Amino acid sequence: MGTVERRRRSGASALTLLCATALLAVAGMSGVAQAAPLPEPGAKSLEQVRKEIDELYRRAGTATDAYNLAEGEAKAQSAKIVEIAKQVVAGQDRITALKNRAGAAARAQYRSGGMPAGAQLALSSSPSQFLDGADRIRRGEKAATDLMSEMNRTQSDLQQYAKDASAQWEKLEANRIKQETSKKQIEQKIKAAEALESKLQAEEKARLIQLEQEAQYKAQSAWLSTGVLKEINSSASESGKKAIQYATAQMGKPYVWGAEGPDSFDCSGLTSQAWRAAGKGIPRTSQEQLRLLPKVAIKDMRPGDLIIYFDDASHVGMYVGDGAIVHAPRPGRNVTLTGAGSMPIKAVVRPDA
């Protein structure tokens, strides 16, 4: 059995154990729940707190996608500005060279006494000199025309470079503003979620994790009850196996928004780096992965494919087989395995179609 297959089976076993643990937790907590004191009037239930925290982190994920996209565009625009600057320098050097050529022509005319070439030709003493002179005049006139055309064209290019640079600077500034806005939104949502969690007692925090697992298990069970796994039987491609190997090797590393390794990841940072390790560059964000990568039906899904979650495509995980994904869940959680159906599936995309 190969390394990737052993890892996949081990991951599936871990997922099965996780689901079983969630079931035991549900049964085990029933007695505790009966003994717990009644909540104060108007107080939020722990389940309400869980949903509120989940929603805050999901919105933070949406803002993270916007931040990552703006960051990628800003890098591209910065690179374009650098390229334009190189073109400007080359154009200025070309103008200098053309002016030097024009100056050399003017100096040559001065050395000839300043007499126009036509006048010198008219004073030639022999027919052969006349013909040679006429040919030189034609060549000289063409060279002068070409020189002026090239100078005008280069000047026009420099003006266009200036316009392009100005446009790129405007886009860069717009993306900087978008980044700052998204960053504030991310930080606000995460702080609000952390503030909610910080108010919980240790026992409530433990119960919150159990509620998360129970909600995931319930959604996964509903997904599996449709018989979907009977239809999903495709094997991973060679590059897909490499992507899975990279992604599963990151398990246990923390989620950090905007991170793409090697010590921490956000959800799309993990999937994009996994496929980069497999030799395939893909878009950085889950929304761009959805927009630009080929879509496949769930029944045709194979390990290595990416599953995009939620209506706003704010989350992504990598399918590893046996109904499981590896993903970076949210701040405060680590890269882990979970059920592929534990969140609302929007689409499945294939990086190596």
**Residue 19 is among the residues annotated as catalytic for this protein:** no
Q: Which long-range contacts (CB under 8 A, 24 or more apart) does 219-225 make?
A: 219/339, 219/341, 219/342, 219/343, 219/344, 220/19, 220/323, 220/338, 220/339, 220/340, 220/341, 220/342, 221/19, 222/341, 223/323, 223/339, 223/340, 223/341, 223/342, 223/345, 224/323, 224/339, 224/341
Helix runs in 225-350, H state only: 228-231, 238-249, 267-277, 286-292
Q: Write the burial class of residue 246 (CB in 10 Å: 0-12 exposed, 13-18 middle, 19+ buried).
A: buried
Tokens 């034609």 locate to 138
Which residues, 6 or more positions from 339, have their beta carbon under 8 angstroms from its beta carbon? 15, 19, 216, 217, 219, 220, 223, 224, 323, 324, 325
Identified catalytic residue from 7, 315, 330, 346: 315
Identified catalytic residue from 49, 70, 232, 267: 267
Identified catalytic residue from 7, 58, 327, 330: 327
**Residue 160 is among the residues annotated as catalytic for this protein:** no
**Residue 313 is among the residues annotated as catalytic for this protein:** no
Residues carrying an active site annotation: 267, 315, 327
